[in-house]
Amino acid sequence: MNARIDGERLAGVSATTLWTLRNRAVEAMRPDTVLDDPLAVELYEAISYDYDRFGKPSQSHPLRAAAIDRAITEYLATHPQATVIALGEGLQTTYWRLGRPDVAWLSVDLAPVHDVRAALLPDEPRITALPTSALDRSWLDRVEPERGVIVSAEGLFMYFERAEVMSLITDCARRFPGGQLIFDAIPPWLSARTTKGLRLTDRYTAPPMPFGLSMSEAARLSREVPGVATAREVPVPPGHGLWKYSAIRRFADLPVVRDRRPSLTLLTFAG
C-alpha cells in the first residue's frame, strides 16, 4: 500500500470512519488482540490524520467488529451463496477478515468514502461499490435475494432519524425474506447528549446521533416491524482489562444496566 491519503477529505459523519479505523488498528497491533485485522493497520498508517482528536482508543469498535464478523460467518455457513450488504461500510475491512473471497459483497457508502477505499484497498472482483446513501433504496435492486442476504449496518443507524431507521428495516424485511440484519445502537440517553453536542476532546465534537434504541426496544422489533421474525442481542467477545471478566459482563446484563448501554442486535426476517 504505497498511496498516502489526507484524511481531512472526509468530514462530518463520514469522518467517523477514521475514529473506528483508529480503534480497530490499535487493537489489531496488540499481541493479545481480539481482532486480527492487519489491513486496518495498513489503512491507519496510510491515512494522514490527527487521530488524537478522538481521544483515547476504545475497545468498543473492535469488539463490535469481531461480533459482526461472527454473525456474518454463521449466516454464510448455512447460506454459502448469500450476498453480504455492508451499509455505511466506511473503512471497514470485514470482507478480508472473513477470508471468504467467493462471497458477493455490496459496499454502500457516500462517494468521498468510496474514493478513499478505492485508493487504498485491494481491488476485489466480488465487491461491488455503490457510492450512495443507505437511505437511497437503489441498492435494494442490486441483490439476488433468493440465495440469501445478510445486511450489516455497523456504526450507521444512530446518525439517522427514528422514522428513517424503522422504514429501512421494514423495506429490508420485505425485500429479503429469510435474510438477516445486524446493527448496533446507542441508548436513548446517549443519543440525547449527542444532539446537544458531545465533545470527545477539546478538538472534536461527535456528530449528532438522533436515533437511540434501548435493548428492550430492540427486542420488541419482532412484534412491531412487519416481516421481522426474531430480534436477539449479539454479545461481543471478552475484551481487555475489566471487560475480560465475566462478573463485569453479568453486571452489564442486569435489567437496570442493559437498557443504558450500547447494544448489538440481529434481526431475522420471516421467510
Give pLDDT tens digits for 145-189. Answer: 999 999 999 999 999 999 999 999 999 999 999 999 999 999 999
pLDDT reported for residue 100: 95
What's the predicted TM-score (pTM) here?
0.96
Q: Residue 245 has what pLDDT?
A: 79
The pLDDT of 63-68, averaged and rounded, is 98
233 vs 70: CA distance, rounded Å: 13
Domains of the chain: 58-269 (3.40.50.150)
- Name the H helices within the chain: 16-28, 38-46, 60-78, 94-98, 111-120, 162-175, 188-195, 215-219, 221-224, 246-252, 255-258
Which helix or strand (DSSP H or E) is residue 227 part of? none
Report the Cα 55 to chain-centroid distance in Å: 20
pLDDT at 3 (0 to 100): 65
d(CA 106, CA 266): 19
